[in-house]
Structure 1
Amino acid sequence: MNVYRYKENPLVTPTDVPPHRDDFEVIGAFNAGITEYNGEIIMLLRVAERPIHHEKNVVKAPVYNHETNTLDIIELETSNPDYRFEDPRSIRKASDPDSYAYLTSLSYLRIARSKDGHEFTIDDEPFIYPQDPLEVFGIEDPRITKIDDIYYIYYSAASSYGVGEALVSTKDFKSIERHGMIFAPENKDVCIFPEKINGKYFAMHRPVPKGGGMPEIWLAESDNLLYWGNHKHLLGLREGMWDNARIGGGAVPIKTEKGWLALYHGASTDNRYCMGAVLLDLEDPTTVIARSDKPLIQPEADYEVEGFFGDVIFSCGAIVKGDVVQMFYGAADTSMACAELSLQEILDSLTAV
């Protein structure tokens, strides 16, 4: 697979983004949803900010207060026996280390714009900021699906109830209409197909089972984009391969003559995130035609290997122009980068199922 990483990579870094609050610092600008609007590439960044503090034995957690429309800053001593602090991203409950009590940063969505996909300017203010009680820990990892003249933006919404998927829409990237949570916790990595198939909308999603089952990709259908049902298991983990620990949707599925091409992320048991692809039937997307045996792109560059959470390539959006796939991706949970791949080479690389 020929992969051309842009020489300007990383395209957007935390230092490029001014914090929304003076007493916060930006630690990540990554996992952006991608689309085109008014002749520009829109990069809808997940911006992660955390409170600035210098106390060695204190960890601070920002929590949006939807009643007062302000941020509350929770301060915890690292000696507190009720919590665990090993993970820099979250504060875990000592009684249940698989569940987090707080996040150490708050994520929101901000727009970056480009004419060529190489040089981006970043809006001064957030575009979508936590507002709902189900978003009090932040909003993350957006995707954007354009249907007719409406851009549907959906993202992971985090709160003490867990992480689910919320939906908003816009026509102008100035104002939004909120539609609420469309997939309840625990669920994320939703990718809505860009057109109806046999009269139905389809979406890939990734439940996170706490009992039986694994973090794998499912498919759901809807009449109106708001209420989803007829859920079917689509894609599973593969023992001994690059996607043997968890998988989830990446970019919005791409319609080709051979089928729907879905770029998805896979993580191995050592938490190495790569991007691969799966080909689904055009008329019945529950049917898997072919899949990547090897990653299309894997962490190799310094900015992909080293970062807030290293060895991560995580794409939430791509743009196709002829045979060129511009895959924009979050690198090491820190920055944004882009690589170009051949659409035909991706299709040729897949192995029939």
Structure 2
Amino acid sequence: MTLAHPLPDMVLPDPARVIARLFVPGEELSHGTSRRGAVVARVLALPEIEVEQLVDELLRDFRGRHRGYHDLLLAHAALVSPHVLGEARMSVSRTLLMGATFTNEYALEGAALCNPSAVPHPDQSGLRPGQLRLAISLRAIGEGHLSSIGFCTAVAGPGPEWTFEPRPLPVVPGTSSPALWHREHLRAVLADRGKIDGLAHSVLVSLPEQFTAADLEIALAGAHHDRLGHFGGRPTTELLRHLVTSAYQVTFPDDIDLGQQVLFPVSEEESNGLEDARFVRFTGDDGSVGYRATYTAYDGRQIAPRLLISSDLRTFHAHRLAGPAARNKGMALFPRLVGGEHLALCRSDGESTSLTRSADGFVWQEPTALQTPALPWEVLQVGNCGSPIETDRGWLVLTHGVGPMRVYAIGALLLDLDDPTRVLAHLEEPFLRAAPAEREGYVPNVVYSCGGVVHDGRLWLPYGIGDARIGVAWADVEELLDAMKPH
């Protein structure tokens, strides 16, 4: 029986999806020597008439590619020039040119586009009966294998119809600002790192229950000088600042489309990318509805599981996760509390699917194993393909397996609704494999998803193909459940 029905509609990487980033020659290398001073001097030496001509060309060529381009150039000029200008003053045109000299365009999808997850869109207006608009997160990979989280939208239904909606330009990275921390959350993250020494304990005692980076500085200033100067005091201080500043929120303007938004690295621990967001529409016990997502932050050396929380997909709060289960890639949140607890799937050992619990959604307990690699098409590793989907017969969990030649395939589990540690059934054969035309890509032989949705009796699953493009397939939910074998 054919369970999955791939459709021809597809999203391809778009090289025109660019953002403007600060660029300081020499500083793009970790131990490079900045050429900032020499570059500033050359810009200052240009004749004013030539400066004005250059700025006219820049505004003509790039203003339409970046929202707020004029102000962005002024901001970049302010970041680089005071260090070498002193009291010197520049005309507006020369300031804009200075900013442009220290700016470059970054193609978000220049290398790859993959790993989508789908949730119902906050805006369901303008649809025909039987249709559902979806918000789909995408992993965009650009130069240097730097990942960001982009978005697109699609409409499912009526029946087996699916349409990816156009992705408008320009892309907008949003505005970031510091976020609040809870003291016990910070304590748990420090415990994960084995760093609750005397100084850390003293600071934790001094912090209010909810605090900001400014409150941390007050607590550090009030710490005893002998603790600050003690061996290990400086590393602990740096770690505290590093962790607290890693929490932030990003806000997007109300007048842009979701498809224009991109979540680009903000904190140091995600400086090399935000990977594999798994979004879920989360309903609280009080009936409140919002969005949550786990993603993997990468700093070039270590990974860190992180959490996004949003009420409207316009403002996102980003935080570090903690606890024994939050130590690897691939966490996926349940869409509601079960037994009064937050639940999540995880792969803390790197190769098996497990379940973990949390009282607050931030600190996760020791996981319970659900599935280990066993079948021929999953002998290397197994993991989830997004958040569990609630059905009348149990929690439907889409899984991925990796077999010989690192070939990926998508399978499924069924978990008990009341006790999701009980595996009721599983697919013995993959639900979805790469078709012959889908084998090639940035990473060959991969089909992979970070989450699907059920609408009108159909499972809709957007999936990455070869880490190079996004396709979609649907399946009849009852047929899929009937095909599972008792576990």
Distance 1:185 1:170 in 2: 20
1:124-146 per-residue CA deviation (whole Å, 9 max, x = no partner) reads 22431111222111011111122
Aligned residue for 2:26? none
- Report SS of the residue matched to 1:344: helix
Q: How does 1:195-214 map to 2 (within 5 A)?
A: 195-208=336-349
Aligned residue for 2:352? 216
Of 153, 177, 182, which residue of structure 2 is paired with 1:113?
Answer: 153
- Report SS of the residue matched to 1:242: helix
Aligned residue for 1:2? 3
Judge conservation of contact 1:110–1:125 (CA < 8 Å) in 2.
no
1:58-92 per-residue CA deviation (whole Å, 9 max, x = no partner) reads xxxxxxxxxxxxxxxxxxxxxxxxxxxxxxxxxxx
Judge conservation of contact 2:304–2:320 (CA < 8 Å) in 1.
no
Distance 1:260 1:237 in 2: 20
Q: Structure 1 counterpart of 2:343, which letter?
A: F
Please report how far the alpha carbon of residue 181 of structure 1 lies from its aligned counterpart in structure 2 after TM superposition. 3.0
Judge conservation of contact 2:106–2:142 (CA < 8 Å) in 1.
no
Please report how far the alpha carbon of residue 346 of structure 1 lies from its aligned counterpart in structure 2 after TM superposition. 1.1
Q: How does 1:260-271 map to 2 (within 5 A)?
A: 260-271=395-406
Higher helix share: 2
- Report SS of the residue matched to 1:218: strand
TM-score when normalising by structure 1: 0.78
Distance 1:347 1:193, change over 3 A: same
Q: How does 1:142-221 map to 2 (within 5 A)?
A: 142-148=277-283, 149-182=289-322, 186-208=327-349, 215-221=351-357
Q: How does 1:300-339 map to 2 (within 5 A)?
A: 300-302=435-437, 304-339=438-473
TM-score when normalising by structure 2: 0.57
Q: Structure 1 counterpart of 2:172, which letter?
A: E
Please report how far the alpha carbon of residue 185 of structure 1 lies from its aligned counterpart in structure 2 after TM superposition. 6.9
Judge conservation of contact 2:442–2:466 (CA < 8 Å) in 1.
yes
Please report how far the alpha carbon of residue 220 of structure 1 lies from its aligned counterpart in structure 2 after TM superposition. 0.4
- Report SS of the residue matched to 1:341: strand
Q: Structure 2 counterpart of 1:120, which letter?
A: E
- Report SS of the residue matched to 1:347: helix
Distance 1:125 1:340, change over 3 A: same
- Report SS of the residue matched to 2:443: coil
Distance 1:242 1:159, change over 3 A: same
Distance 1:286 1:3 in 2: 27
Aligned residue for 2:12? 13
1:235-255 per-residue CA deviation (whole Å, 9 max, x = no partner) reads 10015x111111111121111
Matched, 1:27 2:27: no
Judge conservation of contact 2:386–2:397 (CA < 8 Å) in 1.
yes
Aligned residue for 1:74? none
Distance 1:208 1:230, change over 3 A: closer
Distance 1:295 1:3, change over 3 A: same
Q: Structure 2 counterpart of 1:169, which letter?
A: I
- Report SS of the residue matched to 1:316: coil
Distance 1:344 1:16, change over 3 A: farther
Judge conservation of contact 2:274–2:296 (CA < 8 Å) in 1.
yes
Distance 2:307 2:367 in 1: 18
Judge conservation of contact 1:188–1:205 (CA < 8 Å) in 2.
yes
Aligned residue for 1:285? 420
Judge conservation of contact 2:355–2:367 (CA < 8 Å) in 1.
yes
What number of residue pairs does the alignment pair up?
291
Please report how far the alpha carbon of residue 3 of structure 1 lies from its aligned counterpart in structure 2 after TM superposition. 2.3
Q: How does 1:223-234 map to 2 (within 5 A)?
A: 223-234=359-370
- Report SS of the residue matched to 2:11: coil
Judge conservation of contact 1:17–1:29 (CA < 8 Å) in 2.
no
Matched, 1:255 2:255: no
Please report how far the alpha carbon of residue 324 of structure 1 lies from its aligned counterpart in structure 2 after TM superposition. 0.7
- Report SS of the residue matched to 2:269: helix
Please report how far the alpha carbon of residue 17 of structure 1 lies from its aligned counterpart in structure 2 after TM superposition. 5.5
Q: Structure 1 counterpart of 2:354, which letter?
A: W
- Report SS of the residue matched to 1:134: helix
Please report how far the alpha carbon of residue 112 of structure 1 lies from its aligned counterpart in structure 2 after TM superposition. 1.0
Aligned residue for 1:134? 269
Please report how far the alpha carbon of residue 313 of structure 1 lies from its aligned counterpart in structure 2 after TM superposition. 0.7
**Runs (5+) with no aligned partner, structure 2:** 21-104, 125-132, 157-161, 174-261, 284-288
Higher strand share: 1
C-alpha RMSD of matched pairs (Å) = 1.9
Distance 1:23 1:315 in 2: 25
Distance 1:305 1:207, change over 3 A: same
- Report SS of the residue matched to 1:317: coil
Aligned residue for 2:88? none
